[in-house]
Amino acid sequence: MLAVFAPGQGAQSPGMFSPWLELNGVAEQVAAFSEATGLDLARLGTTADADEIKDTAVTQPLLVALGVIAAGQLGLDAADERVVAGHSVGELTAAAVSGALTPKDAVAFAGRRGAEMAAACALVPTGMSVVLGGGDPDAVAAAIEAAGLTAANRNGAGQIVAAGSLDALEAFAANPPEGLRAVRPLAVAGAFHTHYMAPAEQALRAYADSVAIADPHPILLSNADGSAVTTGSELLARLVRQVTLPVRWDLCLATCAALGVTAALELAPGGVLTGIAKRELKGVELVAVKTPDDLDKARALVASSPQHGQGEHTPEFRVVVMPAKGVFTRADTVAEGQPVARGAQIGTVRTNRDEQAIVAGASGVLDEWLRHDGDIVPAGLPVARLSAETSQSGGLT
């Protein structure tokens, strides 16, 4: 089975549109995307310098535009049986590849998302730092939370990104937990995927009312928890919430492994996600599309990848997430390998104010506990992973 990945911020580089504009029809696509966003994407993607294109309001539509252009050149069809996933804003590219959004609507959404997130960043001085090494990812995430920060990206391959106030980030870097290799500041405008982006989420919720969306096909994985999103309405809601929720790319890769992915293709400007997949998806054939010179190799990978769905059922994965930040305790009435009914209590969370039940939003089999009793878990992060033999309506978040 083939996976198609779409990168997020940090993958951009000056002049990245230049070789693509030489291909038939691409200049017309870029002109349409420019009109949809109110930005001169042709100039920004060719002659703008690194400082100009690292502006969040510019980076996001540029990345999604180039991703959908590459997908179009490869002839990726939403009817084909494959799994798609995008990192952060790349999830909009993935939505277009899955047929849930048109390419133009995906780029327009990215333009609005980038503008709203840039505005939110301007309200309070915040930032992000990549945390390398440190052993157990849950322990590293707990140390980040204990420092008053958020584990905003859990990318796999021992890489976690902390986000929050600049003061808290500087203090964390000056006195990192034992075992960490490095804490390095990232050149970003603010604390993406944290509560600091709440104004952007509110604005995008209103914007989403005007967005036409279809059901993704066949499998689109959500950044929130690595689960497969089955309806357009659920996907649109997740795209809005995504700006304040941590990116769980590690869970997306875990789902790819569980689905039996044998090859992965990263859309332009590729390289970052295939680098992570090389360490997380052992034995999987990988191709990163960086320039049009990589298209023939990518087409060969698409043609040679076995198609899933020839009489074989595609499993559905869901996770149960924390409704509030607090201390997690498992329910003693359910165990790994046992069925869980929709609405069944699988644990509790004790906050500073009260204790709340954690319930399953859909029925399934408890595949794996993702947290231990006594773990302090932020709101929105998963505590248990479920699988189901049949599709369930709705989601677990």
How many whole angstroms from its chain centre is CA 291?
23
Omega within 30 of 0 (cis) for the link into 378: no
- Average pLDDT value over all residues in the chain: 89
Give the model's confidence band at 392: pLDDT under 50 very low, under 70 low, under 90 confident, else very high: very low
Structural contact between residues 61 and 44, judged by C-beta atoms closer than 8 angstroms:
no
For 358, phi and psi rounded to 5 degrees? -110, 120
Average pLDDT over residues 351-378: 86
Range 126-185 has CATH code 3.30.70.250: yes
Instruction: Check whether 378 has a pLDDT greater than 80.
Output: no
- pLDDT at residue 320, as a whole number: 83
- pLDDT at residue 307, as a whole number: 58
- pLDDT at residue 259, as a whole number: 83
Within 10 angstroms of residue 163's Cβ, the number of other Cβ atoms is 27
Report the share of the chain in percent with pLDDT over 90.
69
- pLDDT at residue 377, as a whole number: 81
pLDDT digits (tens, 9 = 90+) for 58-82: 999 999 999 999 999 999 876 567 8
- Angstrom CA distances, 93 to 68, 278, 324, 367, 392, stand at 6, 22, 30, 30, 25
Cite the active site residues: 88, 193
Domain 2-121+195-304 fold: Malonyl-Coenzyme A Acyl Carrier Protein; domain 2 (3.40.366)
- pTM listed for this prediction: 0.81
Contacts 24+ apart (CB under 8 A), 132-138: 132/158, 132/159, 132/180, 132/181, 132/182, 132/183, 132/184, 133/158, 133/179, 133/180, 133/181, 133/182, 134/158, 134/160, 134/177, 134/179, 134/180, 134/181, 135/179, 137/250, 138/371, 138/375
Instruction: Check whether 352 has a pLDDT greater than 90.
Output: no
User: What's at 291, amino acid-wise?
Assistant: T
Rounded Cα gap, residues 120 and 189, in angstroms: 10
- pLDDT at residue 325, as a whole number: 79
Sorted by sequence, the CB contacts under 8 Å of residue 211 that are 6+ apart come out as 101, 105, 109, 236
Contacts 24+ apart (CB under 8 A), 235-240: 235/95, 235/100, 236/208, 236/211, 237/208, 238/395, 238/397, 239/91, 239/92, 239/95, 239/109, 239/204, 239/208, 240/201, 240/204, 240/205, 240/208
Instruction: Check whether 90 has a pLDDT greater than 60.
Output: yes
Q: Are strands 219-221 and 83-86 parallel, antiparallel or unpaired?
A: parallel
* Among 384, 330, 334, 318, CA closest to 357: 330
pLDDT digits (tens, 9 = 90+) for 275-320: 999 999 999 999 999 999 999 999 999 998 865 444 344 445 677 8
CATH architecture, domain defined by 316-388: Beta Barrel (2.40)
Q: Where are the domains of the chain?
A: 2-121+195-304, 126-185, 316-388
More confident residue, 67 or 396: 67
CA Rg value for the chain: 20
- pLDDT at residue 379, as a whole number: 66
- pLDDT at residue 312, as a whole number: 43
Q: Which of 200-204, 248-252, 323-327, 343-347 has the lowest mean pLDDT?
A: 323-327
Give the model's confidence band at 391: pLDDT under 50 very low, under 70 low, under 90 confident, else very high: very low
- pLDDT at residue 269, as a whole number: 96
- pLDDT at residue 388, as a whole number: 66
